Amino acid sequence: MCSLKLLHTDEGMLSFKSVSHYYGLHTPLEAAALVGVDFELPRDSVLLVSGHVGSGKTTLALLAGKLLKPTMGEVRISDHMRPAVVFQVPEQQFFCETVTDEVLYGPRNFGIPDPEKAYDQAMKSVGLSPQVFADRSPFKLSGGEKRRIALACSLALSPDILILDEPETSLDDFGLYLLRILLEDLKGGMSLVLATHWPEFYLDFATHLLLLNEGKQAFFGTLEELLRGDHESIYNVLPKSKIMESAKRLFLSRGRLPRKIEELIVDEESDIKC
Ligand SMILES: Nc1ncnc2c1ncn2[C@@H]1O[C@H](COP(=O)(O)OP(=O)(O)OP(=O)(O)O)[C@@H](O)[C@H]1O
Ligand SMILES: [Mg+2]
């Protein structure tokens, strides 16, 4: 049986203490999704969580957002810090008939002052008109619009930790551009946890990386530690390791992380030409 082990702490803003999570525990379908994950994330961090399909990214996101209880270990969040999770599949978090009700559900139920203002701001932040979308069904939007509404639902809660599960999926170039601008804007005011198959998209503004390999923690540390250190085996676990290797070379030659994704791509291309 799962035991609730969510404690509050002032150590790190978010910490996992020997956390394991099993689905279908003690049934024939038992699956170990996370095993012995242990890290401490300081305040105002941007954590990338990466690893191959089925490595446990979504499970970790749900645990960090208090939406799942760990089977073993403890997930701790600093006092008064509010997490919010943007799901990998937006439909899984929708349950209201209109966009307004969906986005306002959190603010109305968590005592956010002036929910209507929170709705307006959240919709504008994700580049959607608060009026045009107000009475539409969240289930009948395009894939990209659904993702943006899902993000608006979380933003309307004014979270301290925003956890996004593969937010770049199904976005067109404009959507990706908006996402980047928005995340860079949010970065100063809250911590971000980004589960992703595309870590290099966020590399230039992330602070920490957690790599998962079949549910186990293959690496946790700052990007500097990853790029400066001797962690060659880790690149086998990274979904797009070639670009991460390119980031490492760029970092070692210039002594800084790439500031724009274009720098990585240029470096990658020049490496290929050599
Ligand atoms: N609801 C569930 N019931 C049973 N097993 C599950 C459930 N959700 C996930 N799993 C299993 O737990 C493991 C981790 O799944 P999880 O969804 O966390 O991985 P992921 O890294 O997010 O994968 P993806 O890259 O496909 O999103 C997988 O082996 C998966 O099959
Ligand atoms: Mg997932």
pLDDT means per 10 residues, the chain with 274 residues, are 43 88 95 97 94 95 96 94 93 95 93 90 92 96 91 94 93 84 88 92 89 94 84 75 74 76 58 37
User: 175-183 long-range contacts, Cβ below 8 Å, gap at least 24?
Assistant: 175/144, 175/147, 175/148, 176/201, 178/126, 178/127, 178/148, 182/125, 182/126, 182/151, 183/46
Closest-CA residue to 99 (of 142, 148, 149, 144): 149
Q: What is the pTM of this model?
A: 0.88
Strand pairing class (31-41; 83-86)? unpaired
The separation between the first and the last C-alpha atoms of the chain, rounded to the nearest angstrom, is: 57
The ligand placed nearest to the CA atom of residue 35 is 1
Strand, coil or helix: what is 112? coil
Q: Hey, whose CA ends up nearest to atom 1 of ligand 1?
A: 23
Q: Measured in angstroms, how far is the CA atom of residue 161 from the centroid of ligand 1?
A: 22
Supply φ then ψ for residue 16, to 5 degrees.
Answer: -110, 125
Whether the Cβ atoms of residue 243 and residue 268 lie closer than 8 Å to each other? yes
- pLDDT of 245 reads 76
Give the number of the atom of ligand 1 that is nearest the alpha carbon of residue 52: 25
- pLDDT of 267 reads 52
Give the number of the atom of ligand 1 that is nearest the alpha carbon of residue 215: 14
